[in-house]
Structure 1
Amino acid sequence: MTANSDNTSPAIFRLSPLIRITLLSLYVALTIPLPFLAEVTNAPIPPTLLWLGISIGLVGLYAVLTECVILDDQGIQVTYPNWVPRFFRKGWSLPWSEVKQLKPRTTGQGGLVYYFLSQDGKAYLLPMRVAGFARMVKLVQEKTGIDTSDVYPLAQPWMYLILLLFTVILLLIDAWIIAISLTQGNLS
């Protein structure tokens, strides 16, 4: 999603809704059964403490997923809303005049990410999970003159659709597990 298409308005790119929904759903699917299972199994950690931890984790994950990338005539900026503490997610900005090159790096899983290298040698990760990634990369090329024709997102949308499908299946299994645990709790 971008602001007006004229050159005077900044272009604003937010995290892809598909990625945000998938990751939040996966977090819920992986954590929600834990307090119910802790109660049924008489685990040493009380369910209330698990609920507190899950809630804090959900807020933290949501904070990370509020990343916003702003491109204007001066540079590129990665920001977070004011409610996100700066010690948690600080963001960064880089003027176009400071961009030396866009350097690819292989991830541990074999993917490819890109870093802006500044004139003073600092590296800034190119946000790759934004909606409108192709348009963002095109604007980076226009502003810096760096060839971005070989720059692609780290993960394709179909990968997140598959993960979302499996997450929905996991949520259905969670509902079944929670129903059983509630039944077990009523029987004892």
Structure 2
Amino acid sequence: MTANSISIFCLSPLIRITLLSLYLALTIPLPFLAKVTNAPTPPTLLSAGIIIGFVGLYAVLTERVIVDDQGIKVCYPVWVPGFFRKGWNLSWSDIKELKPRTTGQGGLVYYFLSQDGKGYLLPMRVAGFARLVNIVQTKTGIDTKDVRPLAQPWMYMILFAFTLLLLLVDAWTINTAVIGNW
């Protein structure tokens, strides 16, 4: 980063596409199945819920990390309401250390610990994560050589492949439900 430069890191496209596709694969058949099985929940209500959920998921996946000479900021586009997803802003001088924490699934995440003791989650699913970590090390002096992303790209590629298979099953299910061979 040169003087007065700004770097913007967005969520990895692989992660965004995988999670949006998985959501659709898990929900799209529901209105069709509700109609065929005469479920008590109307298909139109399910469809509306699926659309609202998709917009909500998409909003979460629009997270951006902005780093400049002053600090690091996690934010969302203006159309994402602040009560839905809050960002944060931390100046480089306020960062005391980077603390690792184990997740419930055994992974490792990192929190910026501020001078006043508050923790701020290091965004780990951004495209260009290694470059982000290098900037953090340069600006704070904190050793980040052991900081790795939470999930490797191959994990999302496998999940995406299985999601595509699920979408094929969904297409068959919807086709069967619509044609009436159920």
Report how many residues are paired.
182
The CA distance in 1 between the partners of 2:15 and 2:112, in whole Å, is 23
SS at match of 2:105: coil
Structure 1 counterpart of 2:52: 56
Give the residue type in structure 2 aligned to 1:100. K
The Cα shift of 1:27 comes to 0.2
Q: 1:121 aligns with which of 117, 122, 146?
A: 117
Counterparts of 1:69-88 in structure 2, within 5 Å, are 69-88=65-84
Structure 2 counterpart of 1:138: 134
% identical aligned pairs: 74
**TM-score, normalising length from structure 1?**
0.95
SS at match of 1:84: coil
1:38 equivalent to 2:27? Answer no
SS at match of 2:62: coil
Q: 1:90 aligns with which of 78, 86, 93?
A: 86
The Cα shift of 1:131 comes to 0.2
Structure 2 counterpart of 1:148: 144
Q: 2:105 aligns with which of 95, 106, 109?
A: 109
1:183 equivalent to 2:179? Answer yes
The CA distance in 1 between the partners of 2:131 and 2:29, in whole Å, is 40
The Cα shift of 1:183 comes to 1.2
The CA distance in 2 between the partners of 1:131 and 1:158, in whole Å, is 14
The CA distance in 1 between the partners of 2:2 and 2:163, in whole Å, is 40
**TM-score, normalising length from structure 2?**
0.98
Give the residue type in structure 2 aligned to 1:16. S
The Cα shift of 1:90 comes to 1.3
The CA distance in 2 between the partners of 1:18 and 1:9, in whole Å, is 26
Give the residue type in structure 1 aligned to 2:179. T
- Where structure 1 has 5 or more consecutive residues not aligned to the other structure, the ranges are none
Give the residue type in structure 2 aligned to 1:150. D
- Where structure 2 has 5 or more consecutive residues not aligned to the other structure, the ranges are none
1:52-84 CA distance string (max 9 Å, x none): 000000000000000000011100000100000
Give the residue type in structure 1 aligned to 2:18. T
Q: 1:100 aligns with which of 89, 96, 99?
A: 96
Give the residue type in structure 2 aligned to 1:95. S
The CA distance in 1 between the partners of 2:6 and 2:102, in whole Å, is 30
SS at match of 1:94: strand
